[in-house]
């Protein structure tokens, strides 16, 4: 298994997902940071999940996953929502955008800021 699992809060399943998304090791993850690594996960097809986002942030800081609270968690939530909106916006091209425009696909939820 990759040394990604040496980072707190990253288990084998998350390590496999990161590797599949182009993040092969802990050094790469540390270099790109949690936000960009999560962007890679989303671009690779992972479903957005806020807990996974902040767990990655906490792990890179060497903190327990449940240490994220209060204003820090609120800030991360806003960053997560913006990231998801950006990635979804990038995916909304071609036929999907056309179907969304005529109402055959539900509109994308607005980002909470």
Q: What are the chain's domains? A: 3-101 (1.10.150.20)
Burial class (CB in 10 A: 0-12, 13-18, 19+), 61: middle
The pLDDT score that the predictor gives to residue 86 is 87
pLDDT of 100 reads 61
State residue 87's pLDDT score: 86
Contact 81, 111 (CB under 8 A): yes
The tens digit of pLDDT for each residue in 4-57 reads: 999 999 999 999 999 999 999 999 999 999 999 999 999 888 999 999 999 999
pTM of the predicted structure, to 2 decimals: 0.76
């Amino acid at each position: 298994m990759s040394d990604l699992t040496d980072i707190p809060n990253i288990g084998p399943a998350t390590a496999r997902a990161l590797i599949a998304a182009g993040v092969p090791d802990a050094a790469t993850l540390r270099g790109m940071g949690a936000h960009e690594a999560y962007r890679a996960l989303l671009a690779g097809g992972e479903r957005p999940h806020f807990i996974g986002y902040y767990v990655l942030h906490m792990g890179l800081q060497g903190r327990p996953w449940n240490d994220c609270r209060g204003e820090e968690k609120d800030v991360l939530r806003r960053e997560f929502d913006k990231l998801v909106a950006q990635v979804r916006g990038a995916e909304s091209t071609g036929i999907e955008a056309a179907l969304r425009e005529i109402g055959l696909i539900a509109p994308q939820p607005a980002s909470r800021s």
